[in-house]
Structure 1
Amino acid sequence: MSYSWDNRVDFVVRYMYDIDNNGYLDQNDFQCMAVRACVVEGKGDCSAARIAEYQKLMKNLWDEISEIADDDKDGKISNAEFKEAVRKTCVGKKYDEFPQAMRAFIEANFKILDINSDGIVGVEEYRYNCITRIAIDDVSPIDKAFESLLNDEDRKRGGLSLDRYKELYSQFLGNTADNHPAVNLFGPL
């Protein structure tokens, strides 16, 4: 069951947070995420002011996650520790109840997805984001995953707004069922 809650959280750790691919989360991953976010959002540009904003955001996220998840206080967060922290802070909760730094990360992630900065993530932007993390030989599963995310309002506006993205992200992490549209937030897993 590739869309189970466990697999979705594993995906977040492996493909979104564990940037250096060493099997655990540490402060270096979050420093790398700051650089990645600055460069991607800036479409190659990474001003000193913008990188400082991202470094602050990611330091706050690391501090908050490590406070919640680093049970043995070794400066490393295992997958099991991260899952338990997500279970405690996100499962069964709405977006506004998520930890503040996680909400800031989610909102920053939306800016990265919104390549043309129009406030809507359309299918082309969604495709681009998906192929940066998964190996796929046909775009149709990505398009099908995107279509499954959309409600009638999303279709009218041509994609996902920030509010809709936040709602889907909270369901991706906070809903343990494996048969809701939000399981496709990051493409076919």
Structure 2
Amino acid sequence: MDPTKKYFQRIKSRFDDVLDEPVEFDIGYYDKNTGSSLVFDIPGARTQQTALAVRKIPGALVPCISEKFLKANKQSEDWVEQAQELFEWIGLASNGSQAIIGNVSDPAVCAYSVPEPSIPADLEITTINGLLSPESILSAVEELIIEAQTSKKNFFVCVWGHEDAPISWGNSEHSFLISGENMYAQAYIPQQDRCVTFQACCPWDTFS
């Protein structure tokens, strides 16, 4: 937000004169080159540590990502349908859903089938929870790429941000609108040296 603009001054005046109740904020301070956390002193601030968790899903069904899909016309109905199915699977896998182990047919819950063709595999899901900089996320992905080039295995990445800071706004300023998406997902296919990125966009996104 640009301090020289009237919009900034109006918001600042509301904080100074109207919004006088205490509000908690998450603040990140990072090195712009490395993405590593830097120390800064704010009275009353509490340090939040990054949490790491690893869990496994044995015998999961993993959709096969074909070369045809990677090189197909992205405007075709078939490609869009396959992309939506893969996007849904990535979301279920990242949440550790048991639905990806086999078909779920309980009508009281949902009806879900893993996209075909698929292969059984043991998944390892690593979750990093905290206020991460884009550089630190990129660094983690680069490490995974190096490992995947050796193992020849696909891997998937999901990133969630704060709901009030949609990444789909890009570098645009926040407006009074609250639409926007705060997550994206990626599928890396080292054998084809390709990456597919999924990002949903809402009607009022200025970046989309």
Higher helix share: 1
Structure showing greater radius of gyration is 2
Normalised by the length of structure 1, the TM-score is 0.27
Higher relative contact order (CA 8 A, sep 6+): 1
Normalised by the length of structure 2, the TM-score is 0.25
Higher strand share: 2
